[in-house]
Every structure is written in structure tokens, then in C-alpha cells.
């Protein structure tokens, strides 16, 4: 069945093409358009399930191996020769790497962080290769997970959108864009090479632009769409450079080839910027743009100007996680560069805390969710940065469930309140919108990290990975920031729920109707509009909510962590059904220099003793140093010592790894509890408190409310400077360049006038003078010859005749004259 | 005519002149070429002098006729001369003469027409008063 995965992207594209090209001309009904769109996505989803099942779980499973479609592949970009200029020197054999690590181990401990260079005989001269880029789809654990998320969550959102967009004049257009988005997203996650990823990357950026600007008649939406597009361009620039670097280094863009080649490159520890670090930097800039990480996060909150299903699908569940997909896909490159791992972890942590603090003070329900999304994406990058790529992807999955659920719930609230998005005008909706309320509660508990809900499993694993990491130096800081951010998350999510569903019914208060955030013409005609009595959304909207609520509740059980092995009897229960076990084969292990735990890992596990049962494979002798094992770490240190390690220190105190894990679980639950409790205290128990504390912490409140003025700063530092530069360039153009052009024209005119005058007066004058002189001189002679009298002409003729005859008979005449003279004298 | 009467005429001249007439007749029949050429040249010179010196257009026309006839005389003379020497192309001269006569007739017709038109406009036929060719 997995042979048919090429159908998965194709079906939404066909649906989008039918809707987009024919929907308007033949004025399809909403039922037909919705049916085509939902049907195509549903079919894709079914094929995805069947494909993933047959790939990973059936009898013919080829699970750890990568499957690349062959029956449908063709040479997309028939290549030319690529001269591999980059990285040839770094391409050192495994023996050389071992030699380098042996030298490093021999150094005194304080010098071990310095890079060691080994000259080897087999460093090759620049090679060349033929670059052939094929259009083929790849099925492996990572793309399986993403296929299921994209089509599954996408299906729920499509169904929701048929209800939400009811009555909109651009119904066909909306579903055409959404279908196109599905196609592009699936190309992104299923493509088998970097260029296909790039096509999908740009394609989802385009669809995001189109859908944010869906209400293109509103200035705010148009501005937001441009902002998103331009901000993404910055990231895409880095991504494109990284793709070029990949091609220049490895001579191919196919993941499988790149990954097998990259395996043998030397690891670049902190302070060493080799080719892998540069590639990873470019890729991470791309990921920052697409996944709204700290310097480039500004577009995502503004993107909420699009319709709510778009926010749920693109700006929460799928597109913004493309950065995570890319980082995980290229984890072998990232793990070669400890610097970039640290950068990823720190940027993720900074984004998490930064967005969480902004989320606390926002009043627009969708803005709160948007900052929450940014914050959660920060958590995911944090996980990747500390080496727990699988956990990052696990959080992508659970986040897709609960955040899509919350966005759709918010959409349902907005729909029920006739396009009211301000939290301060909600409240008490529990009574009016029961389905929305109960499903929203599931999402709320999940994102706060309460125990059986999905968010708990992934978020707790992230924090544990951060605390126990030995990939990067400052894991404890990352953990601390993450925990504070998680508390903040619980707080503002409780605030959101309290202000929306609990408390006083503030929607009854009269207020001037601001021309809406999302204006649907059809709904405005209903008489109930101005009464603002909320109503439960139709079936097509709450059924997807229920489906997502179920997933948000139980979806986390595929990733039950090692701390629970006293119940589950095994580190990751469920064998392949566990996401960690399932995904592990694509994660490179810098200690063993192989993918996954490796075959010997399980052997080791059998002989492993008590506490360290399930310790990862330790094949390289240098990694087996005592310090790497100290504190009972799960991983041996792949980059040498990384400084203070919180989990190891705690384990040293407690004397047990399991106890340490439990300690961290309790801490993370406590953080969530504190957040929820504070939220309850502020927004349910005593509603005077928020204003009080806002007044007390005025500067902080202002900073958070104004989003730390990042937009203003960018506007001042970048937009304004760009405009200044543009004006300067324009001035240069209009003054200097145009001046030069006009000046040359003026000069030409001047010189032509001079040369014209010279010609007219000097040259012509000379000619006229000479000619007139000659003619004046000669004309009397010539004129005298012209008498006009015929006899004169006749005389000339006769004279001519005589002369002619005389010349003809010249010799005879001379003879005759001589003869006469002879006779006479 | 010549062919019918020539034998009789020859007989009569022989009997009556005692041979001298016959000789003279023979001379008449076969005259000396140079005399004709001299007469032709004289006619030509008279014609040219007429054209160059006379003022009256009519006289000039007549002089032109003289020139043409001088040429005709030459043609005839050479034709006869060649006939005597047995040249088969001797008749060409006579054909030319006929042509020239015809052309001269046509030219006279046109020329006199021009003269009449000229007289009507200028009221003169004196050549030294007509200098229109100057312009």
C-alpha cells in the first residue's frame, strides 16, 4: 500500500484545481465545493493511514528502511556536473575521526573543548558529481508522522471550515487555496530531496500569504499577508543558501545520499565553525522564519488576520512546524555542530519565554493563541537543540492536536459571538456553547500539561531532556527557562478559558460595533446579530472539535516516557507504536556515529545492569569515559564534557535516575498547577487582581502588552531605514543618474548647436564663396557661347566636321601639302 | 526603257559618229567617278555656305536640300561605279537615295510647318531674329 503514497499529495491538488478553476465559472454550490475539498483530503488521509500501516506495522513492513517511490519518479531537474568544492577537506575517514577523538581524550580536561585537527592522507581533492534531482516521495518514520498530522488534522479543519466559512462569497477560493496548501505541505514533508522541500517550503509560504490575505479588502489583512511573506523571505534566503551549500558539499540533494555522506564528517564542537555549522546555520535561519522563532517571529501574530481555520491549519498545526520537520530531517547535520545545537536550544528557550510573557496580556483571543503557538514552537526547538529530536516531533504532534483544537474552539466562539474576538467582551459562554466549552477544556488541560492529557507527555519529556542533556553546555538554563515558560503558559491559558467561558456574561454590554475582524456578509443579515446572544455552532463545526479533543486527550500515550517503566515494564512501551521507538532509526547518534540506537543497543540492554538498563549503545571507547556516565545519564556525552548538568547533579544527590525523573515530573506538574492556580486566582476568584498587579508592575505590563515593542523596533530599525535607503537611492537616481542622463542630453544639444552653426556659417560659407566666385568668373564665357542662333550652332557643327575630316585625312593632307611644295619650289 | 532601246541607240551612234560617238556614248554610259564627286562636293559646299550665311529660313531649307542632294549624288555615283566593277551590292546606294528623298520630303513638310508656326508667333522668318534656343 505504501507504493501509492504519491496519491496523497496529488488528491488535494486535484480537488483544489477543480474548485479553483471551475468553482466560480460553474458557480458550484457550497455543498459541492466542500464535498470535493473534504473528500479529497479524507481520501488522502485514508491512503496515508494505509500507507503508514503497511510501511511500519504490517507483515510486509520495511520499517527502519526508507522507502522512496520509484514507479512515479522522474528526473525533475536533469542535472549537470557539480564540482564539489566545499567540504572536501573536512571529509575525513572514520579512522581519522577516531584518531582525533583519541588525541582529544589524551588532552588535559580543561583543553578538551578545543578542536583537534588531524591531517590524513586520504583527504580527497575536489570531486565532481552529476546532480540529478528527481521528483519522488519518501516514506520514512518522520514523513509518516507528518503525513498523518497534516492529513488528519487537516481533515478535521476542512470539515470545520465548511461550517465556519458558510455564506462567504469566496467559498470556492478559500477551499482552492486550502487544497493547494495541503498539496504543498505534503510535498514539503514527503519529498525525497532538499529541492522538493524547498518547493513545498515556498509553496506553503505562498498559500499562507494568500490565506492571510483572504479578506484582501481589509487593510489589516493585506498588511499582515505582506508582512508574513516578507519575513519568510528572510528565512528562505538562509534556507536557499543552505541548500546550495548542501549541493556544493555533497553533490546531491537526495536526503538518503546526503545523510549517509554527512555521517562520516567530523563533529564540530563549540568554537569550531566548519561546513556543517554553516549549513546548519542556514537551515536554522530558514526554520526561524517559517516557525516564527525569535528574531523572525513577528509575522505569526499578525497572521491571525486570516480566517480562523487557516490560523488553525497553517499557523498552528502544520506549516509553522515545517521548521521542526526540516531540523529533524537534517538532524545529522545539526548534530555535527554543537554550536548550532546550542543556538537552536537557546533560541527555542528564548522564544518560549518571550512569547509566553506576551501572551499573558493580550486581549484578542486569536492573538493569545498565536503567541502561545510561538511559545510552543520554542519548546519544540528547545527539544531539538538539546538533542531530543524525537521529543520535538512528538510535541509537534500533540501541539497539532491541542492547538488546532483550541484555534477551532476559538473560531467556534468567534462564530457564535458574530465575530467578536476581544476577550473582554466574552465570558460565561459555558452555558451557551457546551460542546465548544468541553472540548476547549481538553485543549486547555493538554497545553497546561496536566497528567493524562497529551501535552503533558511531550512537554515533560522536553523539560527532562533539557535538564539531562549532554549535547549542549547550559541545559539547566534551558530547563529553567522552559519551566518558567510552562508556568506562564498555564497562567495565560487559564486566563483565556476564564475570560471566555467562565465569569460574567460581558457580551450583553453594549458597545459600538467595530467593523469586524472577520466579517461575513451572510451572518450580518440575521436579526440576532445585534442582540449578541451566543449560540452553539453547527454540527459540522463541533464534530471536528470532538475528534480533536479525543486526540488531544489520548494522543500523548504514544510517547510515554522512560519514567513510567515501573508501570509499563519497559522504557518506551508499545514497541513501534511508541513514537520514540518508531522515529529512532532516523536520528543520528553522535556517540555511535550510526542512526538510531543500533542493533548492539538491544544487546547492551540485555546485559545492562539495574539502573542503567536501556542505556544506549556504547561502541566507541572514548565515549565510555567515566564522566559521560556520571549521574546515570541515558546518553554518553557525544561532544565531551558540557559543564554543569542539572539532572546528573540531582541524580547524584538522589542516587537514582528514576527518582530524578520523578522529581522533574513533579516539578513540571507543579509548574502547571501554579500557573493554573494563579490564573484561577486572578481571573475567577478575585477579578480585581489583574488590574491591581498591572498597575503595580506597570513597566513590565506595558512591555508585555506592547509585545516588547519589537514591531516598533523593526519598523524603526528596518522598515524606516529601508525606506530611508530607498529614498536616498531614489534621490540619487533622480538627481545623479537622471541628472547625468539629462546632462548628457543637454550636452548633446549644445554640441549639435555648435557643430550646426559651424556647418551652416563656416563650411557652407566657404563652399558658397568659392562656388559663387568660380561661377561668376566663368559664366560670361559660357553664356557668350550660347547665342541661341541656329546658324552659329550650324557653324560649330561644320567646323567640327571639317576638323574631323582633317584629322581623318591628316596624313594625306600632309602628303598633299608636301607634294604641292615640292612641285612649287 | 534603257534595256529596250539601248541596242538600237548603240547601233545608231556607231553608224553615225564613225566610232567617236560610240566612244563618247561609252563615256556617257560609264562616266568618270571623280567628276561626280567633284560636283557632289561643290553642291555640298554651296549647301553649307547657304545654311551658314543666309538669314531666310526658307533659303536655309533649300540649302539643306542641296546638302542632301549632294549626298544623293555621291550615293548614285558610287552605286554606278560599283555596278561597273561588278559588285553585287551596288544597288544599296540607289536604295539609300530613295530613302533620303523620302526623308527629305517629310522633313520639308515638318520644317515648313514649323516655319509657319514660327511666323505666326514671331512674325519673322529671319534667323538672326530668332534666338529662342538660347533659353
What pLDDT is recorded for position A98? 67
Top pLDDT among A772 and A89 is at: A772
Q: What are phi and psi of A128, to 5 degrees?
A: -140, 160
Inter-chain contacts counted by CB atoms under 8 A, chains A and B: 30
CA A642: distance to chain centroid?
A: 31
> Would you say residue B47 has pLDDT above 90?
yes
Instruction: Please write the tens of the pLDDT for every residue from B103-130.
Output: 999 999 999 999 999 899 988 888 888 8
CB contact under 8 Å between A790 and B130, yes or no, is: yes
What is the reported pLDDT for A532? 62
Q: What is the pTM of this model?
A: 0.72
Q: What distances in angstroms separate CA A348 from CA A374, A386, A485, one per listed residue? A: 10, 10, 11
Inter-chain contact A789–B128, Cβ cutoff 8 Å? yes
C-alpha cell at A340: 548550532
Q: Across chain B, which distance is largest between two alpha carbons, in Å?
A: 70
Q: Which of A266, A236, A235, A251 is nearest to A332 (CA)?
A: A266
**% residues pLDDT > 70 (chain A):** 86
Q: Please give the pLDDT value at position A86.
A: 53
Q: Which pLDDT score is estimated for A188?
A: 94
Of A163, A211, A218, which Cα lies nearest the Cα of A519?
A218
Cβ contacts of A787 on chain B, cutoff 8 Å: 131, 134
Distance CA A314, CA A303 (A): 10
Higher pLDDT, A647 or A32: A32
Which residue from A285, A406, A408 is spatially nearest to A343, judged by alpha carbons? A285
Supply the pLDDT for residue A623.
39
Q: What is the pLDDT of residues B19-44, one digit of tens each?
A: 676 677 677 777 778 888 999 999 99
pLDDT at A134: 84
Write out pLDDT tens, residues A508-538: 765 544 444 444 444 444 444 445 678 888 8
Q: Are A798 and B131 a contacting pair at CB < 8 A?
A: no
Whether A791 sits inside 8 A of B130 (CB atoms) is no
Q: What is the pLDDT of residue A622?
A: 38
* Cα separation, A730 vs A770, whole angstroms: 56
pLDDT (average), residues A674-678: 93
Which member of A787, A795, A798 has the closest CB to residue B131?
Answer: A787
Mean pLDDT value across chain A? 84
pLDDT of A485 higher than 80:
yes
Question: Has residue A673 got a pLDDT over 90?
Answer: yes
**pLDDT computed for residue A536 by the predictor:** 83
Residue A408 has pLDDT above 70, yes or no: yes
Cell 561626280 found at: B36
Which grid coordinates are listed for A145? Answer: 508522522
Contact B133 A798 (CB under 8 A): no
CB A312 within 8 A of CB A366: no
Q: Among A427, A375, A441, A373, which Cα is nearest to A403's?
A: A373
pLDDT(A737) > 80 = yes
- The tens digit of pLDDT for each residue in A182-221 reads 999 999 999 999 999 999 999 999 999 999 999 989 999 9
Query: pLDDT at residue A598 above 50?
Result: no
Q: At what angle do helices B33-53 and A790-808 cross, to 10 degrees?
A: 150
Let me know how long chain B is.
Answer: 135
Q: What is the pLDDT of residue A609?
A: 34
Q: What's the pLDDT tens digit per position in A344-395?
A: 999 999 999 999 999 999 999 999 999 999 999 999 999 999 989 999 999 9
Distance CA A280, CA A328 (A): 11
- All 3 cell numbers of residue A633? 545519564
- Interface contact flag, A786 B134, Cβ < 8 Å: yes
Contacts of B52 in chain A (CB under 8 A): 791, 794-795, 798
pLDDT digits (tens, 9 = 90+) for A307-316: 999 999 998 8
Of A507, A517, A527, A518, the closest CA to residue A431 belongs to: A507
Alpha-helix residue ranges (DSSP H) falling in A622-656: 626-629, 646-654
Residue A492: CB atoms within 10 A of its CB come to 25
pLDDT, tens digit, for every residue of A680-729? 998 888 888 888 888 888 888 888 888 888 888 888 888 899 999 999 99
Q: Examine the pLDDT at A563 and tell me if it is beyond 60.
A: yes
CA-nearest residue to B128 within chain A is A789
> What does the DSSP assignment read for A203-264?
HHHHHHHHHHTTSTTSHHHHHHHHHHHHHHHHHHHHHHHHHHHHHHHHS--BHHHHHHHHTT
d(CA A245, CA A550): 44
Q: Report CA-CA distances (Å) from A544 to A160, A172, A394, A645, B58.
A: 6, 21, 21, 43, 129
Cell 531605514, residue located: A721
Residue pair A439/A548 in contact (Cβ under 8 Å)? The answer is yes
Average pLDDT over residues A6-28: 90
Least confident of A255-259, A293-297, A410-414, A630-634: A630-634
Burial status of residue A53 (CB atoms within 10 A of its CB: 0-12, 13-18, 19 or more): middle
Smallest CA-to-CA distance from A214 within A173, A183, A156 is with A173
Do residues A346 and A385 lie in contact, with contact meaning Cβ atoms separated by under 8 Å? yes
CB atoms within 10 A of CB A106: 10
What pLDDT shows up at residue A756? 94
Cell numbers for A717: 530599525
Name the pairing type of β-strands A138-139 and A67-68.
Answer: antiparallel
Please give the pLDDT value at position A525: 42
Amino acid at each position: 500500500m505504501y507504493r501509492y503514497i504519491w496519491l496523497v499529495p496529488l488528491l488535494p491538488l486535484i480537488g483544489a484545481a477543480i474548485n479553483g478553476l471551475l468553482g466560480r465559472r460553474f458557480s458550484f454550490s457550497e455543498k459541492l465545493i466542500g464535498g470535493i475539498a473534504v473528500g479529497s483530503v479524507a481520501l488522502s488521509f485514508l491512503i496515508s493511514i494505509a500507507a503508514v500501516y503497511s510501511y511500519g506495522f504490517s507483515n510486509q513492513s520495511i520499517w527502519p528502511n526508507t522507502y522512496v517511490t520509484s514507479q512515479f519518479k522522474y528526473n525533475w531537474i536533469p542535472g549537470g556536473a557539480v564540482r564539489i568544492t566545499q567540504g572536501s577537506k573536512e571529509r575525513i575517514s572514520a579512522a581519522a575521526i577516531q584518531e582525533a577523538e583519541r588525541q582529544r581524550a589524551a588532552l588535559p580536561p580543561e583543553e578538551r573543548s578545543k578542536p583537534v585537527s588531524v591531517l590524513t592522507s586520504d583527504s580527497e581533492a575536489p570531486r565532481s558529481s552529476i546532480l540529478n534531482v528527481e521528483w519522488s516521495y519518501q516514506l520514512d518514520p518522520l514523513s509518516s508522522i507528518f503525513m498523518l498530522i497534516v492529513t488528519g488534522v487537516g481533515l478535521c479543519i476542512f470539515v470545520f471550515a465548511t461550517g465556519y466559512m458558510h455564506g462567504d462569497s469566496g467559498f470556492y477560493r478559500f477551499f482552492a487555496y486550502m487544497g493547494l496548501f495541503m498539496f504543498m505541505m505534503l510535498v514539503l514533508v514527503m519529498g525525497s530531496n532538499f529541492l522538493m522541500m524547498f518547493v513545498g517550503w515556498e509553496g506553503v509560504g505562498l498559500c499562507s500569504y494568500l490565506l492571510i490575505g483572504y479578506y484582501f479588502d481589509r487593510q489589516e489583512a493585506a498588511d499582515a499577508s505582506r508582512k508574513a511573506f516578507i519575513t519568510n523571505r528572510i528565512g528562505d534566503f538562509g534556507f536557499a543558501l543552505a541548500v546550495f551549500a548542501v549541493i556544493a558539499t555533497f553533490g546531491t540533494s537526495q536526503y538518503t545520499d546526503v545523510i549517509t555522506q554527512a555521517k562520516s564528517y567530523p563533529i564540530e564542537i563549540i568554537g569550531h565553525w566548519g561546513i556543517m555549522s554553516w549549513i546548519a546555520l542556514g537551515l536554522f535561519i530558514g526554520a526561524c522564519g517559517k516557525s516564527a522563532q525569535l528574531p523572525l517571529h513577528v509575522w505569526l501574530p499578525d497572521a491571525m488576520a486570516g480566517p480562523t481555520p487557516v490560523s488553525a491549519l497553517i499557523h498552528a498545526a502544520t506549516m509553522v512546524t515545517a521548521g521542526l520537520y526540516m531540523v529533524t530531517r537534517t538532524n545529522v547535520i545539526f548534530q555535527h555542530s554543537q554550536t548550532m545545537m546550542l543556538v537552536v536550544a537557546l533560541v527555542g528557550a528564548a522564544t518560549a519565554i518571550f512569547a509566553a510573557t506576551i501572551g499573558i496580556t493580550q486581549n484578542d483571543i486569536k492573538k493569545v493563541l498565536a503567541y502561545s503557538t510561538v511559545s510552543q514552537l520554542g519548546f519544540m526547538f528547545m527539544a531539538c537543540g538539546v538533542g531530543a529530536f524525537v521529543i520535538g516531533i512528538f510535541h509537534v504532534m500533540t501541539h497539532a492536536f491541542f492547538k488546532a483544537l483550541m484555534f477551532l474552539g476559538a473560531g467556534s466562539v468567534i462564530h457564535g459571538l458574530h465575530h467578536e474576538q476581544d476577550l473582554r467582551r466574552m465570558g460565561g459562554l459555558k452555558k451557551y456553547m457546551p460542546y465548544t466549552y468541553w472540548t476547549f477544556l481538553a485543549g486547555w488541560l493538554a497545553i497546561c500539561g496536566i497528567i493524562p492529557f497529551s501535552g503533558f507527555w511531550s512537554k515533560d519529556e522536553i523539560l527532562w531532556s533539557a535538564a539531562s542533556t549532554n549535547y549542549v553546555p547550559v541545559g539547566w538554563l534551558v530547563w529553567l527557562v522552559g519551566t518558567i515558560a510552562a508556568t506562564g503558559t498555564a497562567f495565560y491559558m487559564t486566563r483565556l478559558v476564564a475570560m471566555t467561558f467562565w465569569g460574567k456574561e460581558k457580551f450583553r454590554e453594549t458597545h459600538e460595533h467595530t467593523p469586524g475582524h472577520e466579517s461575513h456578509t451572510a451572518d450580518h443579515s440575521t436579526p440576532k446579530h445585534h442582540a449578541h446572544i451566543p449560540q452553539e455552532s453547527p454540527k459540522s463545526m463541533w464534530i471536528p472539535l470532538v475528534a480533536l479533543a479525543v486526540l488531544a486527550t489520548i494522543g500523548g500515550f504514544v510517547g510515554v516516557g522512560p519514567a513510567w517503566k515501573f508501570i509499563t515494564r519497559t522504557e518506551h512501551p508499545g514497541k513501534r507504536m511508541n513514537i520514540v521507538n518508531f522515529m529512532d532509526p532516523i536520528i543520528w547518534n553522535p556517540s555511535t556515529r550510526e542512526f538510531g540506537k543500533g542493533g548492539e543497543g538491544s544487546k547492551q540492554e540485555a546485559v545492562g545492569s539495574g539502573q542503567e538498563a536501556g542505556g544506549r549503545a556504547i561502541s566507541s571507547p572514548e565515549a565510555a569515559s567515566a564522566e559521560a556516565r556520571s549521574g546515570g545519564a541515558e546518553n554518553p556525552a557525544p561532544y565531551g564534557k558540557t559543564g554543569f548538568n542539572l539532572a546528573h547533579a540531582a541524580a547524584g544527590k538522589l542516587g537514582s535516575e528514576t527518582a530524578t525523573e520523578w522529581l522533574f515530573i513533579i516539578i513540571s506538574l507543579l509548574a502547571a498547577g501554579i500557573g493554573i492556580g494563579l490564573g484561577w486566582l486572578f481571573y475567577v476568584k478575585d477579578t480585581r487582581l489583574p488590574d491591581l498587579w498591572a498597575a503595580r508592575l506597570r513597566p513590565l505590563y506595558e512591555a508585555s502588552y506592547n509585545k516588547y515593542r519589537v514591531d516598533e523596533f523593526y519598523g524603526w530599525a528596518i522598515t524606516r531605514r529601508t525606506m530611508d535607503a530607498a529614498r536616498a537611492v531614489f534621490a540619487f537616481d533622480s538627481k545623479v543618474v537622471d541628472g547625468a542622463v539629462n546632462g548628457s542630453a543637454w550636452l548633446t544639444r549644445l554640441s549639435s548647436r555648435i557643430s550646426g552653426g559651424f556647418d551652416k556659417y563656416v563650411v557652407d560659407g566657404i563652399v558658397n564663396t568659392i562656388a559663387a566666385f568660380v561661377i561668376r568668373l566663368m559664366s560670361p564665357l559660357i553664356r557668350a557661347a550660347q547665342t541661341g542662333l541656329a546658324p552659329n550652332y550650324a557653324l560649330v557643327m561644320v567646323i567640327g566636321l571639317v576638323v574631323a575630316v582633317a584629322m581623318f585625312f591628316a596624313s594625306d593632307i600632309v602628303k598633299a601639302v608636301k607634294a604641292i611644295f615640292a612641285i612649287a619650289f | 526603257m534603257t534595256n529596250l532601246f539601248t541596242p538600237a541607240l548603240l547601233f545608231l551612234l556607231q553608224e553615225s559618229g564613225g566610232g567617236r560617238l560610240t566612244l563618247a556614248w561609252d563615256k556617257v554610259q560609264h562616266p568618270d567617278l571623280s567628276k561626280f564627286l567633284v560636283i557632289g562636293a561643290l553642291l555640298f559646299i554651296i549647301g553649307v555656305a547657304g545654311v551658314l550665311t543666309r538669314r531666310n529660313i526658307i533659303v536655309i531649307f533649300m540649302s539643306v536640300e542641296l546638302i542632301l542632294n549632294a549626298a544623293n549624288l555621291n550615293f548614285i555615283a558610287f552605286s554606278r561605279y560599283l555596278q561597273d566593277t561588278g559588285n553585287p551590292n551596288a544597288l544599296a546606294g540607289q536604295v539609300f537615295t530613295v530613302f533620303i528623298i523620302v526623308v527629305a520630303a517629310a522633313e520639308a513638310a515638318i520644317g515648313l510647318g514649323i516655319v509657319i508656326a514660327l511666323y505666326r508667333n514671331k512674325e519673322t522668318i529671319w534667323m538672326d531674329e530668332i534666338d529662342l534656343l538660347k533659353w
